[in-house]
Structure 1
Amino acid sequence: MSNFQLGLIIAGALVLIVVVAYNAWTTHRNAPKRPRPAEADPAQEPVARHEPAFDGAVLTGAGLTGAGLTGAGLVGSGAEGEAEPGFDGHAVDLRDALDLPVPTAERRGGLDPLIDAIAPIVAEQQVSGDAALAALPPTRRAGSKPFAVEGFNDAAQQWETPQPGQRYLQFQAGVQLANRLGALNEIEFSEFVMKAQGFADAINAAPDFPDMLHEVARARELDQFASEHDAQLTFVLRARHAAWSPGYVQQNAARLGLVAGAIPGRLVLPAQGPGLPPVLTLTYDAQAAMSDDPEQSAVRDIVLSLDVAQVHRSQQPFARLREVAAALGEAMDGVLCDQNGTPLPAMTMEPIAADLEQLYDKLDSRELSAGSALARRLFS
């Protein structure tokens, strides 16, 4: 074998080695980023919570549209009913960093003439709570609107859902005037009347129904207001280079206090108070989360969202959204975009913050402050 032939063999071997090494490097570089084993957290079991609703039902759906805000990433939205765990104290707590005040206890709950059509019901004699519960209709909805019956507790001097062992003389039945599925209509009002009349007949009581046309008109006006002041902020964090594995996303989100929700591919930043909706949600491809080998699944973008009407302004949800987006973008090498994938410059954030403050003020002026029990029911 000549020196020339030997040189060609060596050169070919070197080229082959370079090609194999380059392909291995490219594969490694483009493979989804994985969590560090030493920092990986065990899966957290979600704890069920109830969505805000006076009948204890989970309310879902989106029907109220038209956010009164301007700027990128704003859409009309429905609140997602889901089980969420409570905050468990991760290494980085944005609440402490922002020195957030704790929201005051909610005093206003149950049926309210501001967002409900209410019919007083007076019994001929005292009715036990057990009998009242037995007389309730099997479903707590009139069409798409929540329906409820309350009894007046003389000892506590307050309205409440009928309780076993208690006795009541006065009741009231109500149906919600509007939610994200729209305004109460004539058919739904008629169903409300039938359910309330059936309850009254069962306990030998007389109901006093409000005028249907008046209540339907109120419902339409309330729905119009809600439609104009309903908003959800939605931002997309997109990978600049290598994709992320679901575990990598979860690990980085957990450092910022986000915890797993009940739906695959969803994490939440829980509120401070028990039973409240999450402050923020982070979602990514559910199929990647449910994959047989999730660490080989590629996630190229995640969605950060805030349902404005569901979270009290005292929790500074938009500031926390910005903090989380910035921290994740830096840690995961991602770029913040709008829903169309257009990168968002930092200058777009301040106008959105200003519009949010105006929205909060308008909700406050209508006694439907963001995060209140009434707002959570209306915007559900």
Structure 2
Amino acid sequence: MTDFQMSLIAAGGVFVVGVISYNKWQEYKARKSVERAFSSDHDDVLMRADGTLTSRQEPVLDLGVAPAGEGVVLEPSLGTAGIADEAAPAAPAAPVHLPGAAPDTPPAELAESLVDPLIDCLIPLALELPARGDKLLPVLQKLRRIGNKPVHFIGLHVNGDWEPIVHGGVYTKLQAGVQMATRTTSLNELEYSELVTRLRPLADEIGAEPELPDMIEAVGEARNLHKFVAGHDAQLGVNLRSNGAPWAMATLIGALENQGFDVRPDGRFAMPDGEGGVLFTLSTNVTLGSDTTSKLTLLLDVPCVAPARDGFGKMVACAKALVQRLDATIVDDYDQPLLDAALDEISGQVQEFYQEMEAADIPAGSTRALRLFS
């Protein structure tokens, strides 16, 4: 049997697995719909879809909304006239960390970065009843990754805004986003089948109905995205070679720290950008226990640094400063001297690279780029 025939058989097997998983998912949804219809065990049975209570008289739902511009909704409290509200205060919302996002990013903007239609496979989840973030978060934490692809969830708050799901929020709809590509792989048929399988019990536990996209279309989009990522996974290196004896590590570390580098646990050095990010890194090209080295490598992760930060220009400037400090020569990977003309040519190529990423709506250094190239 030829390799081509074996490839066809393998591809057919993957497709069959996906179809079977999808059919089983449909059967599962139908069965659970019937079970829920005849079950009396529902959470928040007095709450309508708009977040208000039904006509039962005792409690009144008081949605405390933060002042305009703060983008945070307080925990709803149930109270009655003349009766003190004994409910415990809501737990503080856990901060959502996303590469490239500022700490004070508005919730709506953060939600767009977490579940991004350009780089994520989107899965709407219709909730049977409004649900509190306190109940949703422990369940959603069970699905954080599919393979090496991160999974994020956002919710439509009762105030009408999409936001990251937090303690104290009440949500009428959810949306999941599975990142379609990373530096190494794209979302494939087996991972999609795993997603469907793992989403079944999760959706049932929170009373949600997922709207799954077509597997073939989702996988096709993922492959196209990965082609872009692979074609723009550029890292530029500039080497420094000692003109004399190898540098003693103890002396070298002090010189690099004076130049502004931060020491990493893995033995690499990072040049901070002044806002919590990294402009470029430096490797000593030897193990942590080595006493000396005769070559340093400065490395720029091009798609992860915004053009405005001029990562390549600052890396070259740093290399030239180290030339004077360490008595070194700037060389390429073949140990040939890198002259200013060659460095200027590379700088022009970097600018063209940035223009390509901008045209693809994945600007270098953006949250979108940092997610794809992390």
**TM-score, normalisation: structure 1:** 0.67
Q: Does 1:164 align with 2:211?
A: no
- Percent identity of equivalent pairs: 32
In the TM superposition, what is the alpha-carbon distance from 1:158 to its structure 2 partner?
2.4
Contact 1:258 1:267 in 2 (8 A): yes
Q: Does 1:253 align with 2:261?
A: no
Where does the alignment leave 5 or more consecutive residues of structure 1 unmatched? 1-49, 55-101, 292-296
Contact 1:140 1:148 in 2 (8 A): yes
Whole-angstrom CA distance in 1 between matches of 2:100 and 2:255? 33
In the TM superposition, what is the alpha-carbon distance from 1:249 to its structure 2 partner?
2.0
* AA of the residue aligned to 2:284: Y
Q: 5 Å matches for 1:1-380?
A: 52=99, 107=109, 109-155=113-159, 157-160=161-164, 162-264=165-267, 266-274=268-276, 276=277, 278-285=278-285, 287=287, 289-290=288-289, 297-380=291-374
In the TM superposition, what is the alpha-carbon distance from 1:333 to its structure 2 partner?
0.7
Shift in CA distance, 254/206, structure 1 to aligned 2, threshold 3 Å: same
| Matched position secondary structure for 1:279 | strand
Cα deviation, 1:115-166, whole Å, max 9, x if unaligned, reads: 0001000111011112111212535111121112222223371221x21222
Contact 1:173 1:196 in 2 (8 A): no
Where does the alignment leave 5 or more consecutive residues of structure 2 unmatched? 1-96
Whole-angstrom CA distance in 2 between matches of 1:273 and 1:207? 39
Whole-angstrom CA distance in 2 between matches of 1:128 and 1:255? 51
Whole-angstrom CA distance in 2 between matches of 1:131 and 1:247? 53
Whole-angstrom CA distance in 1 between matches of 2:100 and 2:357? 19
Q: Which moved more, 1:242-251 or 1:329-338?
A: 242-251
Match of 1:60 in 2: none
Whole-angstrom CA distance in 2 between matches of 1:279 and 1:356? 14
Shift in CA distance, 184/105, structure 1 to aligned 2, threshold 3 Å: same
In the TM superposition, what is the alpha-carbon distance from 1:251 to its structure 2 partner?
2.2
* AA of the residue aligned to 2:320: A
In the TM superposition, what is the alpha-carbon distance from 1:182 to its structure 2 partner?
1.5
Whole-angstrom CA distance in 2 between matches of 1:168 and 1:177? 26
* AA of the residue aligned to 2:194: E
| Matched position secondary structure for 2:371 | helix
Shift in CA distance, 53/148, structure 1 to aligned 2, threshold 3 Å: farther
Cα deviation, 1:282-331, whole Å, max 9, x if unaligned, reads: 111453x445xxxxx11111110000011111011011011011010111
In the TM superposition, what is the alpha-carbon distance from 1:352 to its structure 2 partner?
0.8
Whole-angstrom CA distance in 2 between matches of 1:191 and 1:53? 29
Match of 1:31 in 2: none
Contact 1:145 1:188 in 2 (8 A): no
* AA of the residue aligned to 2:159: A
In the TM superposition, what is the alpha-carbon distance from 1:341 to its structure 2 partner?
2.3
Q: Identify which of structures 1 and 2 has the higher relative contact order when contacts are C-alpha pairs closer than 8 Å and 6+ apart.
A: 1
**Matched positions, count:** 273
Shift in CA distance, 214/123, structure 1 to aligned 2, threshold 3 Å: same
Whole-angstrom CA distance in 2 between matches of 1:306 and 1:155? 43
Contact 1:137 1:195 in 2 (8 A): no
